[in-house]
Structure 1
Amino acid sequence: MSLPILMTVDDDPTVSRSVARDLRRRYGQDYRVVRALSGADALEALREIKLRGDAVAAILADYRMPQMDGIAFLEQAMDLFPHARRALLTAYADTEAAIQAINVVDVDHYLLKPWDPPDEKLYPVVDELVRTWRSAGAAPVEETKIVGHRWSSPSYRVRDFLARNSVPYRWYSVDEPEGQRLLEAADATGDDIPLLVTPDGAVLRKPGGPEIAEAVGLSTRPASEFYDLIVIGGGPAGLGAAVYGASEGLRTVLVERKATGGQAGQSSRIENYLGFPDGVSGAQLTDRARRQAQKFGAEVLTTRDVVGLEARGSARTVRFGDGTELAAHAVVLSTGVAYRALDAEGVEGLTGRGVYYGSASTEAPACQGEHVYIVGGANSAGQAAVFFSRYAKDVTILVRGSSLKDSMSHYLIEQLDLIDNIHVRTGTTVLRAHGDDHLEALTLCSDGGTEVVDCSHLFVFIGAAPRTDWLGDGILRDEHGFVRTGADLLVDGQRPPGWTLDRDPLHLEASIPGVFVAGDVRSQSVKRVASAVGEGAMAVTLVHRYLEAR
């Protein structure tokens, strides 16, 4: 952690060096002393300090400086660091002006030059400045900082990306003073929103996923051109395959389009996963699995969008959206599924501005005292309802069917019944979402007709669709787009077209030899976290069998 800063500003180089020398002698172990020879230079330094997230404890500025005197400088410095304590260095003839400055810009003290001996004249004043600063609770901010609009889809996407990748960040609305200070320090405007500032002070304007990943230290580029195993998709199945592949000696790389964890990673609480009797959040489970995979030597790449897969001799090659390629002896497909879009008027335009797919836990604090609506009747919807019930005034689950019993686990239904502010409305659908810059109301349809309800937050969990169009014709899929594997590929005992080996496909093997499928993307898979992890592990066993038989 960087030391807090004591800044001294004086246009006289001799005085500047003397102040800095005396400050370092007394405070050098606990503070970093920064000096500037003009107000303009000092403001530039303060902007860089602000972007890095360091703290300024106190500023000592000379009263008489050309271009910008000490009072004008301190007025602008306060905009950047309002909690920093302030003192003026002044000659005896300017004492009256220094006293007036205490009222004009809230200067804490003034110091007469010369200040010898410092033990009697300088240090008592600075001691009081830093004591006041510490008692105010000011502390350095080390997190990545985001400045954005409250109801903005791009701002939400940046926050969601960082949260799902376990990157600490602090959010500032463009409407609050600190957000404005960061914009000013970055020489940015509202057109640059969302603005991201990394802990080392780098500024990103309207950043996309790959740019953010690079800036915050996530790995995006493979270390090699060829691996034993490429795992595509970082949900439970992919993480399971990465852990077992790497732990069993395969050079393994996992590539993920957005963030590891998949839908399970967004779950607020998974209570029926083996070994966690008190439950575990999807984020916790994902983080542990990712660290476990990396401990065994697996590479984890984020923001890599795979757009093609083909066999080239004995190699299996994946093609990324940026045109680059990566090859391996074998591939595990574990791309999971995505929530289907809600087919209701107005929803598309309000997505990320009150309408969210998945639990979107970053929105929880904003739901304080609100009435939250959740669409869906499966476990993910029930887990989200339990989570948001801790924040919202009321949570209403909207279910198209007549009951939750056919789609939700029994333990979760019982849990919902015990929470007073959770309500379930069956036989109900959303017809329309209302709002200009953000969601304000919903039109609901049920057996009793239609009604309009106030709503600022709608979370959607309606079914799952596999994202498999990119696979092309080489990988056979069922009528819903899920990938066929093993015996499901045999038609009247005949192997799939183009099959090149003198054996039937292995249990989780797709229609291209050496390509295995695990988790929700596989046709007729069991849509549970435990089964996905199990299939990821089983896929690695089959990879070994495939490699040994070549």
Structure 2
Amino acid sequence: MNKIQPYIFAIDDDPQVSRAIHRDLRSKYRSEYRIMSAVTIAEAKEALADLKNKGAEIALFLSDQRMPDMLGVEFLAEAKELYPRAKRVLLTAYSDTDAAIRAINEAELDYYLLKPWDPPEEKLYPVLDDLLEEWQAGRNPVRAGLRVLGTPYDPISHKIKDFLSSNLFPYHWIERDTEAAAELLKMNQLHEKEGPFVFFEDGSFLERPQVTDVASKLGLSSDAKNEVYDLAIIGAGPAGLAAGVYGGSEGLETVLIERHAPGGQAGTSSRIENYLGFPKGLSGQDLARRAITQATRFGIEFISPSEVAKIESGTPLKTLELKNGTTVHAKSVIITTGVSYRQLETKGLSKLTGAGVYYGAATTEAVACTNKEVFIIGGGNSAGQGAVYLSRFAKKVHIVVRKPDLTSSMSSYLIDQINAIENIEVHGRMELEEAHGESNLEALTFKNLDSGESHQYEAAALFIFIGAKPFTDWIELPLSRDEKGFLRTGRDLLGRQEFTSTWKFDRDPYPLETNIPGIFAAGDVRSGAMNRVASAVGEGAMAVSFVHRYLSEI
């Protein structure tokens, strides 16, 4: 970790206001940040140049809007050139709020605050706390800490990198054919070993590890601590995370079990821009991080990575058997396992999965796509978000869909973004015929569905975002499912044979309850659910209210 504290930098041309800002910032943040303030633009620019030369980090800028030499918006725009990751907040009078709102959109500021900000405990610190937490989450202070050494297009390396990035563990990727790799391998007498290797901050390392080995070394829990829980939630996507927050906040002894990483399919989204309360948007990982932090603050237990192999129904206790051999007992269960992308059976894909062919995972492999031709199959929002993100790195991003265009499957704001990005091209009425390559993906053959002609394209990577398959195959219980495997709940169960044979209560099932009392389903795994993050969050929260009713009955 970096030993030098990052800075919070404030500027206001009024000396009295500048002293007040410095005082309030220092009072709250001096244990974690250095506070620096200036009263003139010249003084500020000189200080910033000095900090840059020293290699210092700046976490947040706080600038007054109306200054004689330069507007605050202009100063923050220049500051972004020096410190692009720093959060930027504009201080403004009430009369300047329209300009501040325009600046958030045009200059991509993070927030604006009105003067005066008294009391700071209500009007200043909550905003800055949130921005600083977001900055810290994206911070990469790794120097000699967690490192992954491997080869490009290696499926095991990809699994490790995807797990670490999905769980927000910063790491440094070292390719095997570099001098840095040679030094590490020689030092540890590993130069004849195949790899990949994961090196930890304590000096230890793992050779060709399983994800569970890495998780254990990093201190993630895969075993339950309690004997009995009020509520067990299976799956930490948006619905499961919301259920965890509400279960914990309402006093239920809650355990949340996740097989890979929090966020689910939404967690792989590089930018969600239509989620309420985040005008600049946020990544799926950031949403998951905030939710896990919130849920654990309410006392829930989070077990990950750990996979449920079997559910045994009972009253009052349900038993969850985990794949690691342990069991969890709970009075109620919410299944929020969501959906997964379907594994395509196209010729050549299977052997190249993890070696240039990826299901989701656009953020994990984006850097490896620098200056290369990459393809995305899928026309939904996740595909669009992935394309926008990859366009920052790739030479060109090709979106391939069977339909004529994206209008029927993607939000209009994403289509507008894609149309405005020069290195994204949309190919309608095409489907994949074959993937080519020996050890890694080299080319793709697509067929034009109108003309019937086939064409081969050079390709360094293929990201697949199609086929919402419910993750329910593992469930042995006779839960009612629709023709696609999604779990039926509530009134959709009435009159069905599997409902009458398993339902033992003198009432109809609650809206999100399955045909087995006390087992609920929420989010994308539920039949009839709307496939949107906000909808899943709402269902997860609503399911907890029905859990309360059920618990009062047993």
Same fold flag (TM > 0.5): yes
Deviation digits for residues 189-208 of structure 1 (CA, Å, limit 9, x no counterpart): 45441111111122111111
Of 465, 468, 487 in structure 2, the residue corresponding to residue 464 of structure 1 is 468
What's 1:336 paired with? Answer: 338
Distance 1:524 1:535, change over 3 A: same
Of 491, 509, 524 in structure 2, the residue corresponding to residue 520 of structure 1 is 524
Shift of the alpha carbon at 1:475? 1.4
Of 307, 312, 315 in structure 2, the residue corresponding to residue 313 of structure 1 is 315
**In structure 2, distance between residues paired with 1:492 and 1:341:** 31
The DSSP-based 3-state class of the residue aligned with 2:524 is coil
Structure 1: gaps of 5 or more residues: 5-138
Q: Does 1:505 align with 2:499?
A: no
User: Does structure 1 conserve the Cα–Cα contact (< 8 Å) formed by 2:405 and 2:426?
Assistant: no
Of 147, 150, 167 in structure 1, the residue corresponding to residue 149 of structure 2 is 147
Of 445, 454, 459 in structure 2, the residue corresponding to residue 455 of structure 1 is 459
Shift of the alpha carbon at 1:455? 0.4
**In structure 2, distance between residues paired with 1:305 and 1:311:** 18
**In structure 2, distance between residues paired with 1:492 and 1:248:** 34
Deviation digits for residues 337-385 of structure 1 (CA, Å, limit 9, x no counterpart): 0001123110111111111110431211121111111000111111111
State the AA in 2 paired with 1:249: G
**In structure 2, distance between residues paired with 1:394 and 1:310:** 50
Correspondence list, 1:205-224, <5 A: 205-224=207-226
Shift of the alpha carbon at 1:324? 1.5
Give the aligned length.
416
**In structure 2, distance between residues paired with 1:494 and 1:145:** 51
**In structure 2, distance between residues paired with 1:495 and 1:258:** 32
**In structure 2, distance between residues paired with 1:401 and 1:528:** 21
What's 2:377 paired with? Answer: 375
**In structure 1, distance between residues paired with 2:416 and 2:142:** 45
The DSSP-based 3-state class of the residue aligned with 1:307 is strand
Q: Does 1:441 align with 2:443?
A: yes
Of 286, 289, 293 in structure 2, the residue corresponding to residue 287 of structure 1 is 289
**In structure 1, distance between residues paired with 2:458 and 2:546:** 53
User: Does structure 2 conserve the Cα–Cα contact (< 8 Å) formed by 1:160 and 1:360?
Assistant: no
Taking structure 1 as the reference length, the TM-score comes to 0.73
Shift of the alpha carbon at 1:526? 0.3
**In structure 2, distance between residues paired with 1:400 and 1:143:** 45
What's 2:349 paired with? Answer: 347
Correspondence list, 1:35-54, <5 A: none
Shift of the alpha carbon at 1:260? 0.7
**In structure 1, distance between residues paired with 2:179 and 2:299:** 45
Shift of the alpha carbon at 1:501? 1.0
What's 1:476 paired with? Answer: 480
**In structure 2, distance between residues paired with 1:185 and 1:488:** 63
**In structure 2, distance between residues paired with 1:245 and 1:444:** 48
Correspondence list, 1:28-427, <5 A: 141-427=143-429
Moved more, 184-193 or 319-328: 184-193
**In structure 1, distance between residues paired with 2:362 and 2:370:** 14
Shift of the alpha carbon at 1:403? 2.4
Shift of the alpha carbon at 1:494? 9.3
Distance 1:140 1:342, change over 3 A: closer
Deviation digits for residues 156-196 of structure 1 (CA, Å, limit 9, x no counterpart): 11111100011111111111121122222333245441111
Of 535, 540, 543 in structure 1, the residue corresponding to residue 544 of structure 2 is 540
Taking structure 2 as the reference length, the TM-score comes to 0.73
The DSSP-based 3-state class of the residue aligned with 2:282 is coil
CA RMSD of aligned residues (A): 1.8
State the AA in 2 paired with 1:535: E
User: Does structure 2 conserve the Cα–Cα contact (< 8 Å) formed by 1:344 and 1:430?
Assistant: yes
**In structure 2, distance between residues paired with 1:384 and 1:432:** 22
The DSSP-based 3-state class of the residue aligned with 1:537 is helix
What's 1:89 paired with? Answer: none
The DSSP-based 3-state class of the residue aligned with 1:470 is coil
State the AA in 2 paired with 1:259: A
State the AA in 2 paired with 1:315: L
The DSSP-based 3-state class of the residue aligned with 1:308 is strand
User: Does structure 2 conserve the Cα–Cα contact (< 8 Å) formed by 1:514 and 1:546?
Assistant: yes
Deviation digits for residues 253-311 of structure 1 (CA, Å, limit 9, x no counterpart): 11100111111000001011111111111111111011111111111111211111111
Shift of the alpha carbon at 1:493? 10
State the AA in 2 paired with 1:487: R
**In structure 2, distance between residues paired with 1:241 and 1:409:** 26
User: Does structure 2 conserve the Cα–Cα contact (< 8 Å) formed by 1:229 and 1:329?
Assistant: yes
The structure with the larger Rg is: 1
User: Does structure 2 conserve the Cα–Cα contact (< 8 Å) formed by 1:505 and 1:511?
Assistant: yes
Shift of the alpha carbon at 1:142? 4.3
Structure 2: gaps of 5 or more residues: 5-140
Deviation digits for residues 111-160 of structure 1 (CA, Å, limit 9, x no counterpart): xxxxxxxxxxxxxxxxxxxxxxxxxxxx9824311111112000111111
The DSSP-based 3-state class of the residue aligned with 2:287 is helix
What's 1:108 paired with? Answer: none
Distance 1:177 1:512, change over 3 A: same
**In structure 2, distance between residues paired with 1:306 and 1:221:** 11
User: Does structure 1 conserve the Cα–Cα contact (< 8 Å) formed by 2:362 and 2:386?
Assistant: no
Shift of the alpha carbon at 1:500? 1.3
**In structure 2, distance between residues paired with 1:527 and 1:379:** 10
The DSSP-based 3-state class of the residue aligned with 1:263 is helix
User: Does structure 2 conserve the Cα–Cα contact (< 8 Å) formed by 1:167 and 1:216?
Assistant: no
User: Does structure 2 conserve the Cα–Cα contact (< 8 Å) formed by 1:495 and 1:504?
Assistant: no
Moved more, 358-367 or 494-503: 494-503
User: Does structure 1 conserve the Cα–Cα contact (< 8 Å) formed by 2:312 and 2:318?
Assistant: yes
The DSSP-based 3-state class of the residue aligned with 1:159 is helix
The DSSP-based 3-state class of the residue aligned with 1:444 is strand
User: Does structure 2 conserve the Cα–Cα contact (< 8 Å) formed by 1:231 and 1:255?
Assistant: yes
Identity of aligned residues (%): 48
Deviation digits for residues 229-253 of structure 1 (CA, Å, limit 9, x no counterpart): 1110010000000000001101111
Distance 1:360 1:414, change over 3 A: closer
Shift of the alpha carbon at 1:425? 0.6
